[in-house]
Amino acid sequence: MALDPDILASLLDTVTRFVDERLVPLEQQVSETDEVPAVIIDAMRDLGFFGLSIPEAYGGLGLSMSEEIQVAICLGRTSPAFRSIFGTNNGIGSQGIIIDGTDEQKNKYVPLLAAGKLISSFCLTEPEAGSDAGSLRTSAKREGDEYVLNGTKRYITNAPHADLFTVFARTDLNSTGARGVSAFLVERKMPGVSLGKRDKKMGQRGAHTCDVIFDNVRVPATALIGGEAKLNQGFKTAMKVLDRGRLHISAVCVGAAERLIADSVRYARDRKQFGSPIGNFQLIQAMLADMQAECYAARCMVEETGRRKDAGRDVTMDASCCKLFASEMVGRVADKAVQIHGGAGYMAEYGVERFYRDVRLFRIYEGTSQIQQLLIGRALIGAG
Ligand code: COS
């Protein structure tokens, strides 16, 4: 259900002020320390950020897809590490339960996720199953009224902080593809769950990932998302979750591009060469114009797809189009932002090189650009 327009405007105003006044000044510190200060996480919790897209019935703000997109664009205007802290609770870490979970599962976990009292992670990727997610090998063997999980998940966002994992595991041990996979809710404290060391990444310092290892982890049969009715249906849950996640990430890409454009315009106005601000030169203006046109195109795509999703349309292909275009767009925008900043663009103190590294991930996670191309191509040929 859509928010009252005044309430939405006030929420966007609050988020914008929080980003500008609290988060932007901390970007360099977070990059250097690889930690988001606890006081900021508390403030984000108080502002309701952990439950943006979680239904109001469970204590969240219940934003529609269109509203979530507007908030995600605002949040995209600062280092992605801040959004990542609560990103999994709103997206891939909670939507599996919200979309396909039983009432009991929703009542047990979703209010705690919305309040930011539990952190959740999405465990799909494995060492040998990245883009080919359907080939995952983690197994869940039924024994009495329990399932026994074994396997390793890789590059799991927020895993070092997570209390709850949505784990995709093979329940039909004779199958090899997407069919035969189920989704489970596994608590960190369960015996047999352990974590690898934190990954060292190219960028997005302050956002943490690591392996999650399941060694004979016994979960009750009630941990199967959606119960027995969803046995061997977990891959579809993962795909539905990613439909929404890909739109959210696309919106974050738009916000990051808007930030990079604003920084580049400011620099082009201030920086003087050949006796004039470089912004007066048409070659600089051409780069800015390309950045703006592409960013605006991505914004329009993402907003339109959000409206279609809210209207109940199937947006699987459209979400892939958004993810493909917006993530590639922000890569080109970041590259031009470095170019406009010249030598300063290559230096850490200006922050542009940090954004350049940070946005590189958007073309990879929640489905690479090539997976989006594959999905779009398949949808077109299938529909032809
Ligand atoms: N919504 C609902 N159901 C969906 C769906 C969606 N968006 N996408 C696929 N499904 C269903 C299919 O209809 C199919 O159902 P049936 O078995 O009833 O026919 C089932 O799920 C399997 O789908 P599919 O046949 O497409 O499986 P594939 O193994 O061919 O999937 C891709 C291949 C590439 C699409 C998939 O592995 C993928 O998305 N990979 C990228 C994974 C990813 O994004 N990883 C990022 C890590 S998470 S941060």
Name the residues annotated as catalytic: 366
**Nearest CA among 94, 270, 262 for reference residue 183:** 94
Distance CA(302)–CA(369), nearest Å, equals: 16
Predicted confidence at residue 1, as pLDDT, reads 61
Ligand 1 centre from 342 Cα, in Å?
Answer: 42
Predicted confidence at residue 176, as pLDDT, reads 87
For the CA atoms of 104, 107, 109, 110, the dihedral, rounded to the nearest 10 degrees, stands at 130
CA distances from 226 to 9, 103, 104, 221, 357 (A): 36, 9, 9, 11, 38
Question: What DSSP designation does 221 have?
Answer: G
Model confidence, pTM: 0.95
Ligand 1 centre from 372 Cα, in Å?
Answer: 11
Predicted confidence at residue 383, as pLDDT, reads 58
Q: Which of 123, 155, 236 to mutate to test the pocket of ligand 1 (most atoms within 8 A of CB)?
A: 236
Q: Which of 88, 94, 179, 235 to mutate to test the pocket of ligand 1 (most atoms within 8 A of CB)?
A: 235
CB 113 within 8 A of CB 89: yes
**Cβ(129) to ligand 1 under 6 A?**
no
What six digits make up the tokens of 380?
A: 């077109």
**Cβ(367) to ligand 1 under 6 A?**
yes
Predicted confidence at residue 2, as pLDDT, reads 75
Q: Of all protein residues, whose CA lies closest to atom 23 belonging to ligand 1?
A: 178
Expressed in percent and rounded to 5, the helix, strand and coil fractions of the chain are: 60, 15, 25
Predicted confidence at residue 304, as pLDDT, reads 98
What is the set of domains in the chain, with CATH numbers? 5-114 (1.10.540.10), 120-233 (2.40.110.10), 236-383 (1.20.140.10)
Q: Which residues contact 276 (CB under 8 A, 6 or more apart)?
A: none
Predicted confidence at residue 267, as pLDDT, reads 98
**Cβ(238) to ligand 1 under 6 A?**
no
Question: How many other C-beta atoms are found inside a 10 Å radius of the C-beta of residue 325?
Answer: 19
In 219-342, which ranges are continuous DSSP H helix? 234-270, 282-310, 316-341
pLDDT per residue of the chain (384 residues) written in tens, 0 to 9: 678 889 999 999 999 999 999 999 999 999 999 999 999 999 999 999 999 999 999 999 999 999 999 999 999 999 999 999 999 999 899 999 999 999 999 999 999 999 999 999 999 999 999 999 999 999 999 999 999 999 999 999 999 999 999 999 999 999 989 999 999 999 999 999 999 999 999 999 999 999 999 999 999 999 999 999 999 999 999 999 998 899 999 999 999 999 999 999 999 999 999 999 999 999 999 999 999 999 999 999 999 999 999 999 999 999 999 999 999 999 999 999 999 999 999 999 899 999 999 999 999 999 999 999 999 999 999 855
CB 185 within 8 A of CB 147: no
Q: Of all protein residues, whose CA lies closest to atom 19 belonging to ligand 1?
A: 179
Distance CA(29)–CA(186), nearest Å, equals: 34
In 51-165, which ranges are continuous DSSP H helix? 65-75, 80-90, 95-100, 103-114
Minimum-distance ligand 1 atom for the alpha carbon of 134: 29
Q: Of all protein residues, whose CA lies closest to atom 29 belonging to ligand 1?
A: 134
Q: Is 118 in a helix, a strand, or coil? A: coil
Q: Which of 128, 239, 372 to mutate to test the pocket of ligand 1 (most atoms within 8 A of CB)?
A: 239
Q: Is 120 in a helix, a strand, or coil? A: strand
**Cβ(134) to ligand 1 under 6 A?**
yes
Question: What DSSP designation does 370 have?
Answer: H
Q: What angle do CA 6, 49, 196 make, to 5 degrees?
A: 160
CB 382 within 8 A of CB 269: no
CB 230 within 8 A of CB 183: yes
Ligand 1 centre from 373 Cα, in Å?
Answer: 14
What six digits make up the tokens of 111?
A: 């209010």
CB 372 within 8 A of CB 253: no
Q: Of all protein residues, whose CA lies closest to atom 24 belonging to ligand 1?
A: 178
CB 116 within 8 A of CB 44: yes
CA distances from 338 to 32, 78, 341, 375, 376 (A): 20, 16, 5, 32, 31
